[in-house]
Amino acid sequence: MTNSVFTILENQSIARNIYKMVLRGDTSAITAPGQFVNLRLDGKFLRRPISVCDLEEDVLTLIYKPQGEGTKAMTFYKPGKDLDLLVGLGNGYDTALSGQRPLLVGGGVGVPPLYLLCRRLTAQGRAPHVILGFNTQDEVFYEKEFRSLGATVDCRTLDGSYGQKGLVTDGIQAAGEYTYLYTCGPEPMLKAVWALCDTSGQFSFEERMGCGFGACMGCSCKTKYGNKRICKDGPVLVKEEILW
């Protein structure tokens, strides 16, 4: 983990209530897809954790959904503004276990960390099958970006307004054989994916956090192997250790 100042290069809406922020700074502490950063925001005591979507040398891409006062204020930040970030938090995904045809399943704001993962997997010669789930067409983002990596993409919307109608679990049932599973999204989705998963896999959990680096114990959860902190021992947990 490092504490660094990043400069905003871009901050814009890319779908309904979804924003993309691009920053430049010291990214050397980011070693795996699925890790996150913790942003200090103006006038706020607690930082905001946001997953890393993409990384290119010293340029960092974050995708976020404005929900509370802090993230809503972020939407007004302009290029050139400096932000204080804790960088390289969490354990991230392990690509060594993927096999040749990994399945990547993302729902809503669980989609962003899978993009860098998909980039790493395709660079290693793997053939990822990606399932993206959204509520409706105007919430869809990054489908074209995943396709541009050469991945097979199945986009699903709950109301059928774009792609295939249904849930990501419908996509899993239609995906055919896969060698390993990676997923990120809201907990009800993760639980449903866990129940359908035919292989081992890695599940990235979303959780409210205090410090973001394991000191406050505010994001602890029970696992088969004892209590773990989502910010420090996660956010990625292996399928076999998860207790629902």
R_g of the chain computed on alpha carbons: 17
Please check the confidence at residue 211 and state whether its pLDDT lies above 70. Answer: no
Say if CB 105 and CB 182 are below 8 A apart: yes
pLDDT tens, position by position, 36-93: 999 999 999 889 999 999 999 999 999 999 999 999 999 999 999 999 999 999 999 9
Above 90 in pLDDT, residue 221? no
Instruction: Say if residues 102 and 179 touch (Cβ distance below 8 Å).
Output: yes
Distance of alpha carbon 41 from alpha carbon 6, whole angstroms:
12
Q: Residue ranges of the alpha helices (H) in the chain?
A: 69-74, 112-123, 143-148, 168-174, 187-196
pLDDT at 212: 59
Yes or no: say if 38 and 26 are a contact pair by the CB < 8 Å rule: no
Q: How many CB atoms lie under 10 A from the CB of residue 195?
A: 9
Q: Is CATH 3.40.50.80 what the domain over 95-241 is classified as, yes or no?
A: yes
Q: Which two tokens stand for residue 69?
A: 């006062």
For residue 242, what is the DSSP state?
A: B
Is 50:62 a contact under the CB 8 Å cutoff? yes
Structure tokens at 206: 């979303």
Q: What is the rounded (10 degree) CA torsion for 97, 107, 62, 86?
A: -70
Query: What CATH architecture is 2-89?
Result: Beta Barrel (2.40)
33: Cβ contacts below 8 Å, ≥ 6 apart: 52, 92, 93, 95, 113, 114, 116, 117, 119, 120
- The number of beta carbons lying within 10 Å of the beta carbon of residue 76 is 10
Please state, in angstroms and rounded to a whole number, the distance separating the CA atoms of residues 191 and 45. Answer: 32
Residue 52 token pair: 């890393």
Could you tell me the residue ranges of all domains in the chain? 2-89, 95-241
pLDDT digits (tens, 9 = 90+) for 162-204: 999 999 999 999 999 999 999 999 999 999 999 999 999 999 9
Query: Which of 78, 12, 7, 70 is closest to 41 using CA atoms?
Result: 70
- pLDDT per position as a tens digit, 90-143: 999 999 999 999 999 999 999 999 999 999 999 999 999 999 999 999 999 999
Q: What is the pLDDT of residue 217?
A: 55
Please name every residue paired with 209 in a beta bridge, in sequence order, or none if there are none: none
Residues in a beta bridge with 4: 85
The whole-angstrom separation of Cα 115 and Cα 106 is: 10
- Please tell me the predicted confidence (pLDDT) of residue 210: 58
The full DSSP string for 93-117 is: --GGG--SSEEEEEEGGGSHHHHHH
**Chain CA centroid to CA 17, Å:** 16
